[in-house]
Amino acid sequence: MIAYLGRIVHNNDAESKLDDDVSSISKSLDLQGSIENGDVSSLASKDFGGLYSVKPLFLIKPSGAEDISRVVKLASRTSNLTVAARGNGHSINGQAMAEGGLVIDMCSTEKNHFEFLPINGSHYIDVSGGALWEDVLTRCVSRYGYAPRSWTDYLSLTVGGTLSNAGVSGQAFRYGPQTSNVTELEVVTGKGEITVCSETLNSELFFGVLGGLGQFGIITRARIKLQQAPDMVRWIRVVYSEFEEFTRDAEFLVTQKEGESFDYVEGFVFCNNDDPFNGWPSVPLDPGHEFNPTHISQTAGSVLYCLEVAFHYRNSDHPTVDTVTIFFFLVYSLISCIMD
């Protein structure tokens, strides 16, 4: 089997035989999923960054952890065959590529796990490492009225992908990044072993995989902490021309106790011009609204700063959300003025 792979790597005239090679390797590995040629124009040869494009040997679309295990075991027995797990392809420097190697399309496993688990008064969801966060959030809220405590600003990312990095969000100041909101993982190790790990079970692997950039194993299942989803969210964006004021207010908000500040705090930088994607038009939350540049200070530089905050509430909450939001905002603004 290993010699056969070597022949394919070095045989430049093998194009006419690729379909037979794919079929043969698939049968040899006994994959329940599928395997495709690693054409340079395929999904596996590109990523979001667009800086690199390399041709893998094959693109593997596994049906589950068992398929991934077989592929990794094969690669571990060779000296020159590499494997890369690819989520939704949002790396920027080719991290999810494998030139002349095997790329595993994790999105093909996205529907493998979805189990709501009430445990000792807390609630969790077991999901596939290939599931997209946007699907996890939608399904949790619509089916159970719960939501992950921490998620990324952009949700079209895989669970395994962000957990292999950190998963920083606007809720991280309250609950930590996504890696701090996982209690159990199923991982395919570098030897191809399918292992369950947690803080108390195989803990070295657990903490190595979380934020480990995929170097300690491939996440095939994760148990995520949930909290009750709000009925409504009040969302506000505040624009600053001075970086010091922007950071001062952000630091103030994220250091307040739970219940005494906003539930979501995040900041970003945008261009002080009318560029439709990076300038003033990117700021309004409502497409029907327009950013009024006349309010910008004459001393403002080429970039502006935006603080994005959100307040969660339930229908049974009193007083009304507008009153509560305005109260918090006035208090924070007042203290900001005092600190000047």
Strand partners, 228: 146
Answer yes or no: is 72 within a domain: yes
Helix (H, G, I), strand (E, B) or coil at 263: coil
- What tens digit of pLDDT does each residue of 239-281 get? 999 999 999 999 999 998 887 788 999 999 999 999 999 999 9
Number of domains comprising the chain: 3
Q: What is the dihedral of CA 41, 42, 44, 50, to 10 degrees?
A: 40
Per-residue pLDDT tens over the stretch 160-208: 999 999 999 899 999 999 999 999 999 999 999 999 999 999 999 999 9
Write down the catalytic residue from 47, 105, 184, 266: 266
Here the CATH number for the domain that contains residue 251 is 3.40.462.10
Helix axes 65-76, 18-29, angle to 10 degrees: 110
C-alpha distance from residue 132 to each of 10, 107, 323 (Å)? 36, 8, 35
Say what the pLDDT of residue 244 is.
95
| pLDDT average, residue stretch 137-146 | 96
Task: Identify whether residues 204 and 183 lie together within a single domain.
Answer: yes
- Name the catalytic one among 90, 110, 184, 186: 90
Residue 266 annotated as catalytic: yes
Tokens of 103: 């790329």
Residue of 172 and 316 predicted with greater confidence: 172
Q: Are residues 134 and 239 in the same domain?
A: no
Q: Residue 275 sits in which domain range?
A: 232-325
Asked whether residue 4 is domain-assigned, the answer is: no
Same domain for 200 and 157: yes
In a domain, 145, yes or no: yes
Q: 159 with 117, same domain? A: yes
pLDDT at 320: 63
Q: What CATH number has the domain bearing residue 148?
A: 3.30.465.10
Of 196, 228, 260, the residue at which a domain comes to its end is: 228
> 171 and 116, same structural domain?
yes
Examine residue 74 and state whether it is found in any structural domain, yes or no: yes
Q: For residue 208, give the 3-state DSSP assignment.
A: helix
Kindly state whether residues 119 and 216 are assigned to the same domain: yes
In whole angstroms, what is the distance from residue 283 CA to residue 326 CA? 20
- Tell me, yes or no, whether 134 and 91 share the same domain: no
- Is-catalytic flag, 153? yes
How far, in Å, CA of 28 to CA of 8, rounded? 15
Of 7-16, 147-156, 257-266, 298-307, the one with minimum mean pLDDT is 7-16
Same domain, 172 and 240: no
Active site residue 90: yes
Alpha-carbon span 46 to 72, nearest angstrom: 21
Q: What is the mean pLDDT of residues 54-59?
A: 90
Catalytic one among 20, 115, 153, 199? 153
Long-range pairs for 116-120 at CB < 8 Å and ≥24 separation? 116/140, 116/143, 116/144, 116/146, 117/223
